[in-house]
Amino acid sequence: MAAAGHPLVRPPAAAHLSDDQGAELGRELDAIRDEVLAKRGAADAAYIRRIIKVQRVLELSGRAALLAGRNRAARIAGTSLLSIAKILENMEIGHNVLHGQWDWMRDPDIHSTTWEWDFVTPARSWQHTHNDLHHRWTNVVGKDRDVGYNLLRMDPDQPWKPFNLGNPLYNALLAPVFEWGIAVYDLELAEFREGKKSKEALVQDLRAMGRKAAKQFTKDYAATPALAMLTGSGKQALYGTLAANAVRNVWAHAVIFCGHFPDGTDTFTEEMVEGETRGDWYVRQMIGPANISGSKLMHLMTGNLSHQIAHHLFPDLPSNRYAEIAPRVREICARYRLPYTSGPLLKQVGSAWAKVFRLALPGRPGAGKGGPRTAGGRDQD
């Protein structure tokens, strides 16, 4: 219930829900969570171990092929395999392991406290800004700094400044170097400027980022090209690893933007989360993100973040379970007359980019809230 003196203010899409309905919705989703927790076991563990094995074979094969990079076919194969390996590591493995989805296995090699992913931002820094802050305050303008990453204007409630005219340019530059953008974002420089983060904490984070960057540079831009020099392919191997990182970054950028910024996704004011119940938190996780429809392969390559709504409801459940959870969540949204935003990849990418362009302009162009709200949601499949 809302705090005394502060009646609960629900977002417009959920304003029709009574307190009893909100509580019942929460119980239904808790029941889904409990059911999946009870079912997870050997098949789930085998799944993540298989994906890790495949990823490592792809990475080793890609780097090995780049050693013969003077051959055009080997260079293309090596770059392609390494790109796929990096995408799998970031999306289906790293992101989900760092959410604690596989901690229940008690395997120290696949645990949120020990995994260090193939991304320039240190795992612990990302877990703070992503797990602790973004997933708690999803799409709450002023609290969730993932709304624009301190760079882009991605909501009409964010004050417009002349700097925002560069929205499309900034986003285009961000995509191929997305891991570096996230690394800088994870330093929380805005919090430091506002006096919310100490100089000591910033220095500690800078050192951690420096160590991680050195490790990534050594692996991608020193070790692999150095070995390739023995076959006269050093330059080709360097270009191949650069290209693989850029491909991974562009893909990760697209998936993240599709999950949070297409038309149909809602944002929230701080007033709306005052006194928020568990049911209301669940509602926010259902109407804030957006799904991407597509094939099983596409779901795998997105780290199952194509099921972004299910992920935000249950961020610590195994990602391979989201496909079975999603239809049940969609049915709940329909029954409670809540939006369920979903659409194919290209349409969602286009919608997110359209918002980037609209919000480069002053005022509240298009408000960015999507089409009419219906009982079944705003499906674009």
Q: Give the number of other CB atoms < 10 A from CB of residue 116.
A: 13
Structure token digits, residue 335: 């029954």
pLDDT value for 7:
61
Structure token digits, residue 281: 């938190």
Rounded mean pLDDT of the chain?
93
Per residue in 354-366, pLDDT (tens digit) is 999 999 999 865 5
Per residue in 274-283, pLDDT (tens digit) is 989 999 999 9
Q: How far apart are CA 209 and CA 120, in angstroms?
A: 7
Q: How far apart are CA 115 and CA 105, in angstroms?
A: 14
**282-296 b/e (C-beta count within 10 Å ≥ 16 → b):** bbbbbbbbbbbbeee
At 15, give phi and psi (nearest 5°).
-65, -25
Structure token digits, residue 103: 């901690």
pTM of the complete model beyond 0.85: yes
Q: How many domains does the chain have?
A: 1
Domain that holds residue 318: 1-381
Q: What parts of the chain have a pLDDT lower than 50?
A: 1-5, 367-378, 380
pLDDT value for 369:
45
